[in-house]
């Protein structure tokens, strides 16, 4: 299957797919002349990358999982669970920090109003 079809099926742009290949995130596909020829497994992996990116994972964070999935043709579930649990924990901490900032801003606003009233 050609890169345009992979793009349609996975949600990744052609440029992103080429980038994933250039940084070694996905294996270079077979070629027929100048054309890259992808298979269904490539689509699954690229779609997984897109979903992970949409959920806030960096390419660096998911590189090991993608490599393992590509090599073994099987998702390393324990590793995925650890990565997702860490991301959840990080997001909860970020949310807590953001709520504290909101509270501090509200207090700051009140203090300014009192001081300059």
Indicate if the pLDDT at residue 17 is higher than 80: yes
Buried residues in 79-110 as b, exposed as e (16+ CB within 10 A): ebeebeeeeeeeeeeeeeeeeeeeeeeeeeee
Structure-token pair, residue 18: 């080429």
Mean pLDDT value across residues 48-57: 95
| Mean confidence (pLDDT) of the chain | 94
Q: Which of 15, 22, 25, 5 is nearest to 71 (CA)?
A: 25
Half-sphere exposure of residue 28: CA atoms within 13 angstroms, side-chain side: 7
- Provide the residue range defining the domain that includes 78: 3-115
How many independent structural domains does the chain possess? Answer: 1
Name the one residue in this structure whose structure tokens are 């909860």.
92
For residue 116, name the pLDDT band (cuts at 50, 70, 90). confident
d(CA 59, CA 89): 19
Q: What percent of the chain has pLDDT over 90?
A: 86
- Does the pTM exceed 0.75? yes
Residues in the chain: 117
Domain containing residue 22: CATH number: 1.10.1660.10
């Amino acid at each position: 299957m050609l890169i345009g079809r992979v793009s349609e099926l996975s949600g990744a742009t052609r440029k992103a797919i080429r980038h994933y290949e250039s940084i070694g995130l996905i294996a270079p596909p077979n070629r027929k002349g100048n054309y890259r020829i992808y298979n269904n497994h490539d689509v699954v992996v690229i779609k997984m990358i897109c979903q992970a990116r949409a959920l806030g994972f960096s390419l660096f964070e998911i590189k090991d999982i993608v490599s393992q999935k590509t090599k073994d043709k099987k998702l390393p579930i324990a590793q995925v669970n650890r990565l997702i649990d860490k991301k959840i924990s990080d997001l909860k901490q970020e949310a807590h920090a953001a709520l504290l900032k909101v509270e501090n801003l509200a207090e700051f606003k009140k203090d300014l109003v009192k001081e300059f009233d």
